[in-house]
Every structure is written in structure tokens, then in C-alpha cells.
Amino acid sequence: MLWKLFLIFLKVGFISFGGGYAVMTLIQREVAGSGWIDDQQFQEIVAIAGMAPGSIATNAATLIGYFESGILGAIVSTIGIILPSLIIVILITDLFMRMQSSNWVKSSFYGLRPVITGMIIYAAIHFAFSGRSEALLSWPMIGSLMISAGCLIGVTKYKVHPFAVIFLAAVAGIVIF
């Protein structure tokens, strides 16, 4: 049983591109095919895994392993799903460390900075304005812009720790809204 848990989650770990939610159907198919859990139990596992901190796929693997074989099953399943990512990160880090002094690599990273910055700005704007039913300059939008400006100033000018900025933004959101 432990070996099968390890192999199933190792396979999921190797093909889990796109984040945890992207592979949840694969995990469901694999564990349902093994006859371990039914659809209702899987939905409960996904709900719990989604509420816990960390990757939902890793949390789901841990819970399924625990459900099937106790603590040892949880450990084996977790190792199986994270091992491929660990191996890939080690290999890429090794390659990067060998190539980091290359002018080609340095130039590529300098060229990627504006693209990544633009993508982050686009995502923020898209997130801010998607699904809006009220006017552009409504009270909620003005409050959100004030909180955003305060966060930006706190991080850049006053060097406030990001955790404190997140906490203060949440408090400001509670007070304003």
C-alpha cells in the first residue's frame, strides 16, 4: 500500500504543472481508480486541503495518505508528490549557478524584468476591475486605492515588513469597509 501511494503521488508530482488545483482531477482519478476513496470523501479532502496553508495538491496527498495508511502513509504520499519538484529545482539551481556569470543570462534577466513587472501590473488592474457593477470611482474603489497607496508607501519609503503591511491592510479594510 505504501509503495503504491508513493508511486501514484510521484507520478502526480512529475506532471503537476499549473498549480495544485490543476492536478486535483488527476489525483481524484488516481485514488478513485485505486478504490481508496469515493467522490464525497474526495470533496471533503479537497475542502480541508484548501483551507490548510500550503499547496492544495500536497495537502490533499498528505490527507489521502493519512486516510489510507496513517502517519506513515501521509509521509510517503507527501514525499512522493514533492520529490519531483525538489529534484527539478535542484537541477535548475545547479544549471543556473553554472551559468549565472554568463552575459547572455544576465541580459536575459534584465530583459525579463519589465515584462514581469508589466504582467504583475496587468494582473493587479485586471483583478481590481473585473466583475465591477458599480461606477469606477465609487467609495470601495477609493478605499482600495488608499489602502494600496498606503501599502506601497509603507514598503518603499518606511521599509515596513511585508507581514506588517498585510496585517495593517487587513485592519484598514475592516475599518473602511
pLDDT digits (tens, 9 = 90+) for 150-159: 999 999 999 9
Q: Do 83 and 139 share a structural domain? A: no
Q: Are 63 and 74 in contact, with CB atoms under 8 Å apart?
A: yes
Q: Is residue 114 part of a domain?
A: no
Q: Do 63 and 139 share a structural domain? A: no
44-47: which pairs have CB atoms within 8 A and are 24 or more residues apart? Answer: none
Q: Average of pLDDT values for 91-114?
A: 87
Q: Which domain holds residue 19?
A: 2-99
Q: Is residue 112 part of a domain?
A: no
Number of domains in the chain: 2
| 109 pLDDT above the threshold of 90 | no
Q: Do 147 and 70 share a structural domain? A: no
pLDDT digits (tens, 9 = 90+) for 28-87: 888 887 888 888 888 899 889 988 888 889 999 999 999 999 999 999 999 999 999 999
Q: Do 70 and 153 share a structural domain? A: no
Q: Do 143 and 76 share a structural domain? A: no
In angstroms, the CA 128 to CA 148 distance is: 11
pLDDT of residue 43: 87
Q: Average of pLDDT values for 8-34?
A: 83
| 164 pLDDT above the threshold of 70 | yes
What is the amino acid identity at position 83? L
User: 160: helix, coil or strand?
Assistant: coil
pLDDT of residue 134: 65
In angstroms, the CA 124 to CA 78 distance is: 33
pLDDT of residue 23: 84
**Whole-angstrom distance between the N-terminal and C-terminal Cα of the chain?**
51
pLDDT of residue 87: 94
